[in-house]
Amino acid sequence: MAEEVIFVKSDKAILLKKALAKNLYLKKVDQLQISKILGLSQPMISNYLSSNDKVPKNILNFVEKISDEIINGNSACFHTCISFQNKTIEGRFYIAQKNELISDEKSKIIDNLTDAFLLIKDKNISGLIPEVKVNIAMAKDNAKSSEDVAAFLNGLIIVDDKVTSNNGIRFGKSKHLSSLLLYLKEKLDVNAIMNLAYNKSIKETRFKIGFLTKNFKLEKNQDSFDLLIHQGDFGIEPCVYILGKNAVEIVKKFLKLKEALNGIKR
């Protein structure tokens, strides 16, 4: 499985930990917790907090990403990377076992999902948040199984009705969305899907709408849909799925949908 990692040069590793300690402390994480997170003694954390070392802007950007992940309940692991090339490796990357290397197509899918997330980040999605996680999935062109479909691990993270972050992008993790998308790819010209809670005002918008049966099959065979509605069943809440050729197209449709719903008088 490919994992997202952040590389910094060895001479900046201590600066990163110092900045991270300060950032976490400002976010009300106590020194004992910080010492456990960074694998350092509490006196060392105290020294870090009193440090006046100047930290480069790119390191501060990494610190924001890392601290957000920690605050959201993810653990951070610190490792030493040894490279035999002269090229400096610094920034955010994905690493994988040799047999898990990301193909160009998978890389483009990850980039597209990342761009889609940045489009929806900080957007208010109130009224469309389902009980299950909101997620976006995107498939390879010739996808055969869920291993060919990428989605956000554990869905998008929503705080106060706004999309704030995510836990990374993985292939083969969103079973429901991937199975539905694989089925729809056989019927329609779609390559990506997003799930939302159903809002009855959606039927008043100008989007091309279709319906799914209780067992998530198309009610009618048509060439294309913007949205598919599942009206729910025992233990299944009503929901709506946005369809598109890629994740960015889906988020753009979502933003138009949200604008249309805001304009409908209730």
For residue range 17-62, list pLDDT tens digits in order: 999 999 999 999 999 999 999 999 999 999 999 999 998 888 998 8
Report how far apart, in Å, the C-alpha atoms of 33 and of each of 50, 62, 66, 69 are.
17, 20, 15, 15
Q: Is the pLDDT of residue 96 over 60?
A: yes
Dist CA 260 CA 202 (whole Å): 8
For the whole model, what pTM was predicted?
Answer: 0.64
- Computed over every residue of the chain, the mean pLDDT equals 90
pLDDT, tens digit (0-9, with 9 covering 90-100), for 137-190: 999 999 999 999 999 999 999 999 999 999 899 998 888 999 999 999 999 999
pLDDT at residue 101, rounded to an integer: 63
The predicted structure's pLDDT at residue 266: 53
Domains plus CATH for the chain? 3-95 (no CATH), 103-263 (3.40.225.10)
| Least confident range of 49-53, 56-60, 80-84, 246-250 | 80-84
Query: Binning pLDDT at 50, 70 and 90, where does residue 3 land?
Result: confident
> Would you place residue 222 in the very low, low, confident or very high pLDDT band (cuts 50, 70, 90)?
confident
